[in-house]
Amino acid sequence: MPFQRLPDSPRGHITREALIQAALGIFGRDGFDAASTRAIAAAAGANQALIGYHFGGKEGLYLAVFEHIADRLGEQVLPVATSIKAQFQGRGTRTLNREARIGLYLPPLLRLLDTFTAVLVGEEAAGWARLILREQHSPSRAFDVLYARIMGPLTDIVGQLLAGAVGGAPDATRINLLLFTTLGQALTFRAARASVLRRMGWQEIGPRELAAVQGQIRRNVAAIVRAEAGR
Amino acid sequence: MPFQRLPDSPRGHITREALIQAALGIFGRDGFDAASTRAIAAAAGANQALIGYHFGGKEGLYLAVFEHIADRLGEQVLPVATSIKAQFQGRGTRTLNREARIGLYLPPLLRLLDTFTAVLVGEEAAGWARLILREQHSPSRAFDVLYARIMGPLTDIVGQLLAGAVGGAPDATRINLLLFTTLGQALTFRAARASVLRRMGWQEIGPRELAAVQGQIRRNVAAIVRAEAGR
DNA sequence: GTCTATAGTCGGATAGAC
DNA sequence: GTCTATCCGACTATAGAC
């Protein structure tokens, strides 16, 4: 007996979503402090007082924006990540030799990094980046949301793949250093974007440039993993 | 006949410096928008109206802060960089074989990266980072100052060392991709600091942690360079 | 749930005395 | 060069009608 579930009070729900969407854009463009609730309300086509009603205030809206970011990021990178994870469920690595380990774990690692890089330099992440980097500098409750839902699961999986490829415990310091130096290779193209564009002479990081970046990261990570596995 | 040179109007000069110093701290902690000229003046022990007098306004002070950052960064990384550069003045790379190139260019590259990493994760860069990352997202005139005086020269030298080690033109796309993926390995530990600390279980990135990071980056870059030079 | 109106604050800039 | 005093705009939050 299939029937359409009614969203609880449709009007309010629509307003909420519009405000979050607008806030994402304005917070992302101007940063938390420079963004005004007036501008957000205007962009959402909603009344400024409704921010107080729906989210309690500017900070509450900011937190709701991070929930939204976590949703979207989760949709984009976690499916790839968890499908890979499932593939290796409960598989021991002790029995494999060096070449077998690399052959098994490196390809999915490189695929996951491709996805991560694409999301990171993509259009949509531009606004998120400013907010996320702000949280990295002075973490608030929003960082907890982000870490629990995205950073944690993501680093877990990349760490497991790295550990599988080079051998060792997934949470050992050595693997974690490998992990962050690996992710950092992609992160630069977002965090140091202006410097990259200026030196490269690029106007944007479009599909062509993305492919070049992904290729370089692939080669780098392959080289690193082979070197680290070689002892 | 040695005599003390009088700074041009001593009082004003002292006030200027105090304001810049205070602004560095407050802009760095709170960001440009959240920082107030009142708080900066208070921290400097100066009068709020003097910001207008000396710098024309908040934005002028912000720019002056970047000049200061460029000064300090220049003192910390450029000496190492230029001493290395002098060492390779006018040296051609065509005549060297693979092993000779690596032996010649890799060690100074790794030394320079050590310095870069140390400065980046160091205490003093904490405040700068927020401001610099903001400029990477939406570059203003302050970015021009920073790029011309620091990022440009630094990337030039690292690019030359990489080009020397793997062979090729220093400004080719391939070298530039190598360059940014290399620098990015250090950048993460500043830009994604909160995530690093949480996953690593570190309280701070002190001398011990810095050494571990530097070691990993050394091994990574060595592996990458050897792989890239190998064709 | 949505609106108007406004209270209450705080910010950057600046005039003008010293 | 430095200070006090103040202007004026912009902001967030909220009271209260609908």
Tens digits of residue pLDDT in B109-138: 999 999 999 999 999 999 999 999 999 999
Looking up tokens 């002292």 gives: B14
Of A33, A194, A217, Cβ closest to residue B143: A194
CA separation, residue A105 to residues A81, A87, A139, A161, A230 (Å): 13, 10, 33, 6, 15
DSSP B106: H
**Is the per-residue pLDDT at A91 higher than 80?**
no
What CA–CA distance (Å, rounded) separates B122 from B126?
7
Q: Give yes or no for a contact between B202 and B209, defined as CB atoms under 8 angstroms apart.
A: yes
- This prediction has a pTM of 0.94
Cα A4 to Cα A78: distance, rounded to the nearest angstrom: 28
Mean pLDDT is lowest, of A79-93, A138-152, B17-31, B57-71, for: A79-93
Measured from the CB, is A47 under 7 Å from any atom of strand C?
A: yes
For the stretch A133-192, pLDDT in tens is 999 999 999 999 999 999 999 999 999 999 999 998 888 999 999 999 999 999 999 999
**Which window residues (51-90, chain A) lie with Cβ within 7 Å of strand D?**
51-52, 57-59
Does residue B36 approach strand D to less than 7 Å at its CB?
no
Whether the CB-CB separation of A15 and A7 falls below 8 Å is answered with no
